[in-house]
Amino acid sequence: MRTFDKSNQLFERAMNVIPGGIPGHQSPTLLVFGQSPCFIERAEGPRFWDVDGNEYIDYMCAYGPMVIGYNEPKVEAAFRAQSQKTDTGNLPSERYVELAERLVEIIPIADWSIFGKNGSDVTSYALRVARAQTGRSKIIMAEGSYHGIGAWCISFDTGIMPGERADILTFEYNDTEGFKRLVEENKDDVAGVIITPFRHDAFHDSEMPAPGFHETIRKTCDDIGAIFIVDDVRAGFRMHMGGSLEQFGVRPDLICFSKALGNGHPISACVGRNALKDAASQVFFTGSFFTSAAPMAAALATLEEMEANDSIKIMYERGEMLKDGMLDQADTHQQEVSYTGPETLPFMTFKSEDGWERAKLFCQECYQRGVFFHPFHNWFISAAHTEEDIKKTLEVTDAAFKLVKEQMG
Amino acid sequence: MRTFDKSNQLFERAMNVIPGGIPGHQSPTLLVFGQSPCFIERAEGPRFWDVDGNEYIDYMCAYGPMVIGYNEPKVEAAFRAQSQKTDTGNLPSERYVELAERLVEIIPIADWSIFGKNGSDVTSYALRVARAQTGRSKIIMAEGSYHGIGAWCISFDTGIMPGERADILTFEYNDTEGFKRLVEENKDDVAGVIITPFRHDAFHDSEMPAPGFHETIRKTCDDIGAIFIVDDVRAGFRMHMGGSLEQFGVRPDLICFSKALGNGHPISACVGRNALKDAASQVFFTGSFFTSAAPMAAALATLEEMEANDSIKIMYERGEMLKDGMLDQADTHQQEVSYTGPETLPFMTFKSEDGWERAKLFCQECYQRGVFFHPFHNWFISAAHTEEDIKKTLEVTDAAFKLVKEQMG
């Protein structure tokens, strides 16, 4: 029986000196609290070891940043080589130009790129560019979509003033008619629309875009002269190297990336079309670490490895293997589940009324057996997951499904 | 004669693929454009080398982050050792708890700490905590103070909606009476006051706090139940290890740090009093890289080195030597200058009407001779600057003053 004593002790220490212990999306209180780890000791490839020495095959990938394996040798070598030269300085390094050029090369809509640290930095920037370009105020986003911790989009409103989100209009993801109505009512004021490539709110089944959904947004933006922004922070470089909407054949005006771009090193980027470049240059955008060179070297190496190895294809194959295996097992153990989202960012929920309780028990049993899933948040496949890893994982999930069946029917 | 050909070529490439080339505070168009470097090749101790191979003794320190030398061996060793274990993961590492405990130990007002990446992350967070704690809306800040790129504080309003800054009230730094009037007019609505330890707006002489200025803010906040926030992002760990206001014997409720905390590695922190811990835990605060372990290991090593070597004392000594030398030289070469701010974050302007032109010529001549100052933005001293470096610098500044005198009188 695995225990989490050291994790729990450290979490108590954290509660003493940090509000909430571990605040935000990584809070262990959002896992199966007490039956899951709170702190990590080391990580390698698709695995991590918690501070109690428990090993896991990881399906959260740091909530997205890890895309070709923790401590990936080539990425780390590039990071270290650059950091021994210059990292955070008075001015950028040559890597800064190279990375912008690389993104322009591989992303069809990109004529330019700018860089930040957080996803929030670039989603908030994209709104400003849309407003600067159009001279309009309103932004349309899907209700419950997570676009970061900017006041305009933060999921919880503690400490936020109504004025800070006064110009944000919301509709339900995939409700094409609702979207059209919102546009009709605010036509002359809509600066832009921001959506994620698919619906991936926590505590909710993922939803792929409904037929015509992206196309309607594209056409509507063209019709009214608004800017189509894709928040690809979570899904970017896990669905398509050119931006996730390439998979659906629809092209936005601005795309925000972060997470996977540096395989764990802190960087974010907003790329856009030439028509927006002047407006983009008029929006003040800066930060102490925005031009740091080493994460850019890491991003260049990550992109190179992903292209050389066709990492997206590998992730889809592994994701499909996991999906097929788990759906078979659910069937065998008579569990009704929803397995949703792209194969590379899957999510599984139980359909019964005690869905979250089942999900928690399922995850708890997986933690005990060395596999790390999340009960409430979509998962992530990486290119470091081997077929062997998926096989081992499926042995664990089979045992977990069996136990859920035994205990909850 | 030094040239900047490779810098200029790279900047042209940057202009093609990045709006503004290098946007924000690091834009070479804010230096002596064409006569100053645009890109860095490597950095070590208090020096950097631009992409054309020109060497500089650096007085910008990456605009603050570098505090004990670029590529400082112990900090880099700590960073690398941690990054080989775990960096960005599903959960924090033990370093996360250790760093919060350390900050609580060395900062008198700190009972807790939370971590972000940018200065903006934590200044924006502090406002939310103040609002959550008081249930009030208004924030008082000094006009022109730089607190980051949050919509509430950004220095330029392109793309910003009026509602986003509707609850921000401004007064002039050091105008104690103006501050009191603002409070009187908005008494029941004031959630908090945010100020920098001293006035350090760009394009402006720095100003130390007027007698009683901080004390008035402290007393006023106590009287009306508002939260006193110090934005120590720029000055933190360059005036006092316990937060810069310790130097003046005044204690705020929340302090925001970033820049120097990790000696160049991306990290920011907001520390606060116990009375605010509940409110702080209710403000949603998270980011993909907020718990990354390696920058925390770097921060722990930076704090350790700074305490072991009394780095603040060293910086003040070096800063005083530079100040004394430059003021003597200004006198010798009959230049009227203002040399303002703490010795560790000094700034020098020319008093004549063609002040910026003189400043630009002065800086240009320093770049030619291997010393890096900024014409419009305060400078930074580090603990890596040796007496020998200051001596060499003073040889350069003497020549630059002489030339300014010759060319501009």
Q: What is the pLDDT of residues A216-236, one digit of tens each?
A: 999 999 999 999 999 999 999
E strands, B76-204, are 112-116, 138-142, 168-171, 190-195
Over 90: is that where the pLDDT of B391 sits?
A: yes
Strands B337-340 and B268-272 come out as unpaired
Give the CATH fold of the A73-309 domain: Aspartate Aminotransferase; domain 2 (3.40.640)
E strands, A267-360, are 268-272, 337-340, 347-350
- Residues A96-117 have pLDDT tens digits of 999 999 999 999 999 999 999 9
- Residues B55-109 have pLDDT tens digits of 999 999 999 999 999 999 999 999 999 999 999 999 999 999 999 999 999 999 9
Give, as one character, the DSSP assignment of residue B220: H
User: In this structure, what are the phi and psi dihedrals at residue A202, rounded to the nearest 5 degrees?
Assistant: -65, 160
* Furthest C-alpha separation in chain B: 62
The helix or strand, by DSSP H or E, that contains position A362, with its residue range, turns out to be helix A355-369
* Cα-Cα end-to-end distance for chain A: 23
Q: What percent of chain A has pLDDT over 90?
A: 99
Tokens of B365: 């001549």
pLDDT bin (cut points 50, 70, 90) of residue A385 is: very high
Are residues B286 and A80, on separate chains, in Cβ contact within 8 Å?
no
From chain B, pick out residues whose CB is under 8 angstroms from the CB of A287: 24, 118-120, 148-149
A319 and A383 in contact (C-beta within 8 Å)? no
- Residues 6 or more apart whose CB falls under 8 angstroms from that of B164 comprise A151, A152, A163, A164, B151, B152
Q: What is the pLDDT of residue B230?
A: 98
The helix or strand, by DSSP H or E, that contains position B256, with its residue range, turns out to be strand B254-257
pLDDT bin (cut points 50, 70, 90) of residue B355 is: confident
Q: What is the pLDDT of residue B287?
A: 97
- Residues B32-57 have pLDDT tens digits of 999 999 999 999 999 999 999 999 99
Radius of gyration (Cα) for chain A, nearest Å? 21
Query: Would you tell me which residues 210-239 of chain B have a C-beta closer than 8 angstroms to some C-beta of chain A?
Result: 233
Torsion angle in degrees (nearest 10) through CA of B96, B100, B106, B108: 170
What is the rounded CA–CA span in Å between residue B247 and residue B198? 11
The helix or strand, by DSSP H or E, that contains position A239, with its residue range, turns out to be none
What is the rounded CA–CA span in Å between residue B336 and residue B352? 7
The distance of B263 to chain A (nearest Cα, Å) reads 9
Report yes or no: A105 at the B interface, CB cutoff 8 Å: no
Are residues A89 and B43, on separate chains, in Cβ contact within 8 Å?
yes
What is the rounded CA–CA span in Å between residue A56 and residue A49? 6
- Residues A177-219 have pLDDT tens digits of 999 999 999 989 999 999 999 999 999 999 999 999 999 999 9
In chain B, what are the domain boundaries? 5-70+311-408, 73-309
What is the rounded CA–CA span in Å between residue A9 and residue A37? 11
From chain A, pick out residues whose CB is under 8 angstroms from the CB of B259: 288
Q: What is the pLDDT of residue A355?
A: 82
Q: What is the pLDDT of residue A72?
A: 98
Of B110, B83, B371, the closest CA to residue A42 belongs to B83
Q: What is the pLDDT of residue A130?
A: 98
For the residues B15-21, what does the mean pLDDT come to?
Answer: 98
Are residues B24 and A96, on separate chains, in Cβ contact within 8 Å?
no
Give the CATH fold of the B5-70+311-408 domain: Aspartate Aminotransferase, domain 1 (3.90.1150)
**How far is CA A82 from its chain centroid?**
26
pLDDT bin (cut points 50, 70, 90) of residue A353 is: confident
Q: Taking the model in full, what pTM does it have? A: 0.98
pLDDT bin (cut points 50, 70, 90) of residue A352 is: confident
Query: Would you tell me which residues 27-56 of chain A have a C-beta closer than 8 angstroms to some C-beta of chain B?
Result: 28, 37-43, 48, 50-51
Q: What is the pLDDT of residue A277?
A: 98
Over 90: is that where the pLDDT of A173 sits?
A: yes
From chain A, pick out residues whose CB is under 8 angstroms from the CB of B372: 90
Burial of residue A353 (CB within 10 Å: 0-12, 13-18, 19+) is: exposed
Report yes or no: A291 at the B interface, CB cutoff 8 Å: yes
Report yes or no: A100 at the B interface, CB cutoff 8 Å: yes
Are residues B266 and A289, on separate chains, in Cβ contact within 8 Å?
yes
Of A299, A392, A396, the closest CA to residue A75 belongs to A299
pLDDT bin (cut points 50, 70, 90) of residue A119 is: very high
A2 and A49 in contact (C-beta within 8 Å)? no
B328 and B221 in contact (C-beta within 8 Å)? no
- Residues A257-312 have pLDDT tens digits of 999 999 999 999 999 999 999 999 999 999 999 999 999 999 999 999 999 999 99
Are residues A24 and B290, on separate chains, in Cβ contact within 8 Å?
yes
Range with the lowest mean pLDDT among A127-141, A332-346, B317-331, B353-367? B353-367
How many angstroms separate the Cα of B376 from the Cα of each of A172, B32, B348, B356? 48, 10, 9, 8
> Around Cβ B251, how many Cβ atoms within 10 Å?
18
Query: Would you tell me which residues 293-322 of chain B have a C-beta closer than 8 angstroms to some C-beta of chain A?
Result: 293
- Residues 6 or more apart whose CB falls under 8 angstroms from that of A211 comprise none
Task: Please give the single-letter amino acid code of residue A350.
Answer: F
Tokens of B162: 């009026």
The distance of A82 to chain B (nearest Cα, Å) reads 9
Over 90: is that where the pLDDT of B353 sits?
A: no
What is the rounded CA–CA span in Å between residue B385 and residue B392? 11
> Around Cβ A271, how many Cβ atoms within 10 Å?
28
What is the rounded CA–CA span in Å between residue B17 and residue A103? 9
Query: Would you tell me which residues 250-279 of chain A have a C-beta closer than 8 angstroms to some C-beta of chain B?
Result: 258-259, 264-266, 277-279
Tokens of B371: 């010393």
Query: Please, what is the average pLDDT of chain A?
Result: 97
Q: What is the pLDDT of residue B222?
A: 98
Across the interface, of B22, B164, B286, the residue whose CB is closest to A24 is: B286
User: If DSSP codes are grouped into helix, strand and coil, which group holds residue A139?
Assistant: strand
Across the interface, of A10, A43, A100, the residue whose CB is closest to B86 is: A43
For the residues A385-405, what does the mean pLDDT come to?
Answer: 98
Burial of residue A56 (CB within 10 Å: 0-12, 13-18, 19+) is: buried
Instruction: For CA atoms B101, B104, B107, B108, give the dihedral sign.
Output: negative
pLDDT bin (cut points 50, 70, 90) of residue A354 is: confident
B59 and A112 in contact (C-beta within 8 Å)? no
Structure ipTM: 0.98
Strands A190-195 and A168-171 come out as unpaired
Are residues A121 and B118, on separate chains, in Cβ contact within 8 Å?
yes
What is the rounded CA–CA span in Å between residue A133 and residue B157? 13
What is the rounded CA–CA span in Å between residue A15 and residue B37? 47
For the residues B349-368, what does the mean pLDDT come to?
Answer: 94
Of A288, A342, A350, the closest CA to residue A316 belongs to A342
Query: Please, what is the average pLDDT of chain B?
Result: 97
